[in-house]
Amino acid sequence: MTPPFLPFALPEIGEAEIAEVVDTLRSGWITTGPKARRFEADFTAFLGEPSLQSIAVNSATAGLHLALEALGIGAGDEVVTTTHTFTATAEVVRYLGADVKLVDIDPATLCIDLAQAEAAITPRTRAIVPVHYGGLAVDMTAVLALARRHGLKVVEDAAHALPSTHGGRLVGSFASDATVFSFYATKTMTTGEGGMLVTRDAALAERARVMRLHGISRDAFDRFTAKVPSWAYEIVAPGFKYNLTDIAAAIGIHQLQRARGFQQRRAEIAAQYDAAFAGLPLVTPPQPAAGDVHSWHLYAIRLADEAGITRDRFIEALFERGIGCSVHYIPLHLHPYWRERYGLRPEDFPHSQHAYERLVSLPIYTRMGDGDVQRVIDAVRAVLKG
């Protein structure tokens, strides 16, 4: 019999998450309320830094937008980030009327090349947004030093990076102005859709909370649970609709409790792949520094020139064998909007372009059994040896 198709990613939802969602539905409070607040408090505790504030939002895109808005980024400003990312990282800058300066990646880590980032800084540059690609933490010591030299704000795109570490510290606990995590369905933990903005800056946190829900001066949960009539509120800014529901937060509460276990299983799969692919004409993903944690959101291989097969044909061949794959990412400089707005060319980003033409993200998720992992290994080896 033909084995069932193995998808690129699947979430792992347990009975505790389901029970918490049912409890939420029965409680009558299904939008932002007590479960969202509990999830925020749990997230701060997870990061181990009491000075942090965690603000639950309906996507990492929303979190990035709120963070940059609260920092005052606007028309005439520039924000530096990498071309090798999903468009959300850059599009939020355009929401605010500011411009994006895209730079290339380090060919070893596939994270932002900080030398090129520094070279791209102009008098208009206000912020840098490093992306922790695939779950490998960017060198935040170097990012923060660069930001201090040039007076820049730092907003970390940590959509892939829970629970990654750099220098033994969790991503999210550094002295950045803000860090934003994603809980999309394919991420290392999920709320279906959702994200978390984390910051030490009390003013930024206050602004983000106001702008998260239409610019209303008072939190809806406070207004509707007060002991005395409290129907009045004020609109203090033209805000957004970025709040996380209690239904989603109910899932997040228990996913967060399992986050370290999820990472350990992903790391086991990555290690199996590393061992099995040794000697094949491909480049396996970069490893974290000794003592650090890689979240292994992605296991992105790069085909070597001697592989004798194009990336696209390789993906087709795996699909024919029942294995789902993806590509992370089609760099921003290849997309019509970014290419045409800023006059970008592939030769401006040789490392990202070279990686893109060879990149394949293989399945790596906690619902994969050892048999599933072996299927992927066997398929990769068969295609490359065939």
CA distance 129 to 37: 27
Q: Kindly provide the residue ranges of all beta strands, DSSP E only, lying in 130-224, ordered along the sequence.
A: 153-157, 165-166, 169-170, 178-182, 195-199
For residue 124, the one-letter residue type is R
Q: Which residue has the tokens 């607040």?
A: 37
Would you state the structure tokens that stand for residue 351, as one six-digit string? 């490392």
At 204, which helix (H) or strand (E)?
helix 202-212
| Pairing of the two strands 165-166 and 99-103 | unpaired
Does the annotation count 187 as an active-site position?
yes
144: Cβ contacts below 8 Å, ≥ 6 apart: 154, 174, 175, 176
Q: Indicate which residue of 153, 187, 227, 385 is catalytic.
A: 187
Taking each helix axis from N to C end, the angle separating 15-27 and 246-257, rounded to the nearest 10 degrees, works out to 150
Distance of CA 325 to the CA centre of its chain: 18
Alpha-carbon distance of 334 to 337, in angstroms, equals 9
CB 239 within 8 A of CB 64: no
Cross-strand pairs, 302? 283, 359
CB 195 within 8 A of CB 7: no
The tokens for 83 are 């071309």
Question: Catalytic positions, please?
Answer: 187
